[in-house]
Amino acid sequence: MSGINGSCFAETRKHHFQVNGKPMYFNGFNAYWLMCMASDPSTKTKVADAFQEASKIGMNIVRTWAFSDGGSKPLQTSPGVYNEDMFKGLDFVISEAKKHGLYLILSLVNNWDDFGGKKQYVQWARDHGGQYLNSDDEFFSNAVVKGYYKNHVKSVLTRLNSITGVAYKDDPTIFAWELMNEPRCQSDLSGKTLQEWIVEMAAEIKSIDKKHLLEIGLEGFYGESMPDKKQNNPGYEVGTDFISNNNLNNVDFATIHIYPDQWVSGGSPEAQAEFVEKWVKAHIEDCKAILRKPLLIAEFGKSTWSTGYTVKARDDYFQNIFNMAYESARSDGSCSGTTFWQVMAEGMDNWGDGYQVVLEQNPSTAAVIAQQSQKISSLNSVMEM
């Protein structure tokens, strides 16, 4: 599968990705743990192993964390103070990805408490910035907290890779920056708070780095700008607005996540399958007709802890999403790729969350992924002719 094309940065044209002027489609995975594993000499081989297994079955993109705020293995130990070993771990992830023909999507902060998240930033503002803050959602509006986030953005984007010597902002191995993993602001369902934060932070990133693509990290919930679309939501809102959030010049493409087992948890398997189909198709249509931007299905998976789980159920679920993505890509739709949640290397059982796929131990799932890689690759080569 065509991986990274020399020194060409990914671009968008209407609802397609392009590299070197040619349309490009993706089949890839999430692996949030890469920097952590790479920062420890005794575990860094797991990064190379996972990349090798992934590229063996034709995958060409990986999404991972460029954050770990506070806690036991921090990248950022306190505002603006960095752990060089962790940063070197991220350097290694980038250089290994390039070696294996994999693009990277790097997310810059978490909405959730894992690896610090907005909660840690708000706590830092209380501890170091003298701020009286009542809610973690003040991450999006408090000036001190926003300053901390902007500082982190700058630190990551201008980082000089200790292995390659290339600044992150100048490295085409990085496909895109992601503002935040799954931003939610449930204290303001009008969507205004989050919209203003996205406008400000997208501009901040583009002021430092105009070469890379940028996406928000959204799950895809609809909001107030087109209320009739809210019927596609799983029965609630989270303070985001898929249409207005993505309809900004500085946002280059849209993402959705899909977790019917969590979002429609009481629903029958049929109700969940129906939700998935409606969710994917609505967003594919809206990205083409309204946003005129590409769509990446950035997270989906099937948990071994979910009711009725079997490997076959997971394989069928992956196949179903892969088919929707491929049909869209093949017929000039907006869906340009998928990254499932998530790949783990062997010997990482204590890192698992139920969704992990260890490729070497799951030959049937690996085969479904390999087949999708082949189909996506055939689109890439047709487009190159």
182, 204, 215, 219: the catalytic one is 182
Q: Is 84 a catalytic residue?
A: no
Classify 136 as helix, strand or coil: helix
Helix (H) or strand (E) holding 381: helix 363-384
Contacts of 216 (CB under 8 A, 6+ apart): 178, 179, 180, 183, 198, 202, 245, 246, 251, 254, 255
Strands 16-19 and 22-24: antiparallel
* The residue count for the chain: 385
Q: Choose among 165, 121, 123, 169: nearest CA to 145.
A: 121
Helices 143-157 and 192-208: crossing angle, nearest 10°?
Answer: 30
The answer for 239, left when phi > 0, alpha when psi is -120 to 50, beta otherwise, is: left
Distance of alpha carbon 385 from alpha carbon 382, whole angstroms:
6
343 DSSP β-pair partners:
357
> What is the identity of the amino acid at 117?
G
339 DSSP β-pair partners:
28
Strands 254-258 and 76-78: unpaired
The answer for 347, left when phi > 0, alpha when psi is -120 to 50, beta otherwise, is: left
Q: Is 299 a catalytic residue?
A: yes
CB atoms closer than 10 angstroms to residue 338: 29
Distance of alpha carbon 268 from alpha carbon 86, whole angstroms:
43
Contact between residue 161 and residue 168 where contact means Cβ atoms under 8 Å apart: yes
Strands 295-300 and 254-258: parallel
Contact between residue 202 and residue 214 where contact means Cβ atoms under 8 Å apart: yes
Alpha-carbon radius of gyration of the chain: 20
Catalytic residues: 182, 299
